[in-house]
Structure 1
């Protein structure tokens, strides 16, 4: 199998400010018609008939999908599938989108790993579900997508310490010397300790890159999508 991974940007859609323009989030106050048009264009550009979405709630629930679903998966923060050609998608605007895939079996996952979800173990839960679906830990390849970086993500000292207790390696200092979180660093360490085969990192910071949506930077804003799926070679 060939594992495909795609991360969108703000460009190329029809949404009006402050969601301009390629907002794919249907829960942020944007015109539903604009979101529907943007999602339709996404599918057309990717050459797929359908995309599996989820109603993200900052938890650790994982849902396995097969493409027969007619609505987004309810109250979940990770999607797993072994259906070839079915992209699973995660929406973000500072949280870490995690895309995972086993190229031998074609089992893939998209994970929404924000501060709360990362702290409570959404990524290990997704890995467990992938293994149950037939993936092998040593074959899984991962992309940690664009997210707010540790130099920008300032949090109270107690919060940084608490998250680091549950996600070691995530506590850091911001550019201004304040307590901060680097969730991608903590997640990378978690994946390595789990025995995942390969981990790549998209270094872009959502708060610094104007081509990406950032809730911390802008408040009311849209969402980019990170998607992955398997294609037969």
Structure 2
């Protein structure tokens, strides 16, 4: 179920799922009731039940949502869903439309299949400040990482640390030369070449540069999604599911 999981500081855990956890997204044509059952198993496996992970309706932007009462949102992906019961007693509630969530300890989730699932943890005066960030090419380009860190610091976070989950690497993310030049003009560390010699973008490299410039230490970097079939990869299979990056406190 978990590709990687650790208690990163007393009372706070970070994890990234793999294909053994199954598809966790409601927007990819999967059976909604089955998806929600997988999410419940994930919450049981993380030991947070009856609390719920807060998901978001991700749109490849830089909007940050401060989560006051976590665990009410159901979707992550293009197009919000809400108000429909997929099985008795299990409603799908609207999720925040954002590409980063910040909470004062509430469980958070971000779902991906090549983009970076970035998890951030900071120390607040009254407890940990958490963030889950969907950092794809458009989000990195438009500054979703600085926006999330700004919101965390506004919420009292200090000593912020980062976990870069599995994503497509700079050796595999082939793009047109014009797109590479456009992105690298803003994010020079994103410039890359594939292992077969064509233009590429290094999203983890660009994210790491942004984090380091903001004074955030990087604790973990996940493997390449494209190269590993135990992870979902949209570039390898456009009909794939989504895995999750997770952060939660222990009650």
Query: More deviation in 28-37 or 198-207?
Result: 198-207
The structure, 1 or 2, with the larger RCO (C-alpha pairs under 8 Å, 6+ apart) is: 1
Between the aligned partners of 1:152 and 1:71, the Cα distance in structure 2 is: 33
Are 2:158 and 1:130 aligned?
A: no
Q: Within 5 A, what are the aligned runs for 1:177-216?
A: 177-196=197-216, 198-216=217-235
Where does residue 15 of structure 1 map in the other structure?
Answer: none
Corresponding position of 1:61: 63
Partner of 1:115: 137
Equivalent residue for 1:46? 46
Q: Which moved more, 1:168-177 or 1:54-63?
A: 168-177
Aligned CA RMSD, in angstroms, stands at 1.5
1:226 corresponds to: 245
Q: Which has the higher strand share?
A: 2
Look up the SS of the partner of 2:236 in the other structure: helix
TM-score of the two chains, using structure 2 as the length reference: 0.83
Question: Would you say the 8 A contact 1:60–1:77 is kept in 2?
Answer: yes
Deviates more, 1:69-78 or 1:160-169: 69-78
Give the Cα–Cα distance (whole angstroms) in 2 for the partners of residues 204 and 173 of structure 1: 18
Match of 2:81? none
Equivalent residue number for residue 155 of structure 1: 175
* Structure 1 gap segments, 5+ residues each: 13-21
Match of 1:74 in 2: 96
Structure 1 position 163, deviation (Å) = 1.2
Pairwise mapping of residues 160-175 of structure 1 onto structure 2 (< 5 A)?
Answer: 160-175=180-195
Change (3 A) 1:52 1:68: closer
Q: Aligned with 1:6: secondary structure?
A: strand
Q: CA deviation at 1:129?
A: 0.3
User: After TM superposition, which residue ranges in structure 1, 4 or more long, deviate above 6 angstroms?
Assistant: none
What is the deviation of 1:69?
5.9
Correspondence for 1:16: none
Q: For residue 47 of structure 1, report the CA deviation from its aligned partner.
A: 1.3
The answer to whether the Cα contact below 8 Å between 1:88 and 1:228 also exists between their aligned partners in 2 is: yes
Does structure 2 conserve the Cα–Cα contact (< 8 Å) formed by 1:3 and 1:103?
Answer: no
Q: Which of 3, 8, 12 matches 2:12?
A: 3
Instruction: Name the stretch that deviates more: 121-130 or 163-172.
Output: 163-172
Aligned match of 1:18: none
- Change in Cα spacing, 1:211 to 1:187, as seen in structure 2 (3 Å) is same
Q: Is the 8 A contact 2:16 2:165 kept in 1?
A: yes
> How far has the Cα of 1:227 moved from its partner?
0.5
Alignment pair present for 1:143 and 2:176: no
Aligned-residue offset at 1:68: 5.1
Q: 1 CA distance for matches of 2:197 and 2:186?
A: 22
CA–CA distance in 1 between the matches of 2:198 and 2:70?
Answer: 47
1:158, distance to aligned residue in structure 2 (A): 1.1
